[in-house]
Amino acid sequence: MKLSAPIHHLKRKAKRLSREQGIPLHAALDRIAATEGFSAWSMLAAKAAALTPASRLFPQFKPGDLVLVGARPGQGKTLMSLELAVEAMRSGHRAAFFSLEYTERNVLDRFRAIGADPAQFEELFEVDCSDAISADYVVKQMATAPRGTVVVIDYLQLLDQRRENPDLTVQVRALKSFARDKGLIVVFISQIDRSYDPAIKPCPDLGDVRLPNPLDLKLFDKTCFLNKDEVQFRAAS
């Protein structure tokens, strides 16, 4: 059965339905799935899973990688990062999601939005929404994480928002060293500058990353930028 629209469009449609009718996001997703001929969103998502960019990208990651996932608001960067975490867990690895932006409930709602059941990965997935999140905090929390664990940080530009935290470059360098020493894959969700114009280029790139504070973007081993249905993945040369 062919979907009437790409899955990211259907997710945005569900978000609008959730807001307009005041229903939980997972209920709105199930309603959208029903219009596509599926009994639940999880069934729809399972059909689309083999075609997701995350399923194609994850095999290209290796332990020690620092990955940047960037997009303008509403283009799916959080969902992409969660999909990468799910790919890791389906491969038997652990995953952790550190968010300075969302609550745990928000994260789990988005987890369900990609057709993943939190209960299925209960022993492999953890969510941390502490206000204290920084490079040092992540290092402490992940000190015993096994090799291959995917660590998602939401989001890059918030790591140094507290004055007591080190500069962003210092924190990213620390996480890069930690990832390589432990064999982890660290994924940073990143904002894109408002000056990015999709009429000029289909996807943002490193030059469009919003940097309120200086950061050497060459620290990242791989990048993934999204805009609508366009996904551009690059590995550091």
Q: Are residues 88 and 54 in contact, defined by beta-carbon separation less than 8 angstroms?
A: no
Tokens read off for 201 = 């280029």
The pTM of the whole model exceeds 0.75: yes
Q: Are residues 139 and 149 in contact, defined by beta-carbon separation less than 8 angstroms?
A: no
Tokens read off for 64 = 């020690």
Q: Are residues 76 and 12 in contact, defined by beta-carbon separation less than 8 angstroms?
A: no
* DSSP symbols for 168-221: HHHHHHHHHHHHHHHT-EEEEEE-B-TT--TTT-SS--GGGB--SS---GGG-S
Tens digit of pLDDT at every position of the chain (237 positions)? 567 877 777 888 999 999 999 999 999 999 999 999 999 998 888 777 666 788 889 999 999 999 999 999 999 999 999 999 999 999 999 999 999 999 999 999 888 888 788 888 888 999 999 999 999 999 999 999 999 999 999 999 999 989 899 999 999 999 999 999 999 999 999 999 999 999 999 999 999 999 988 899 999 999 999 998 789 999 875
| Distance, CA of 145 to chain centre | 19
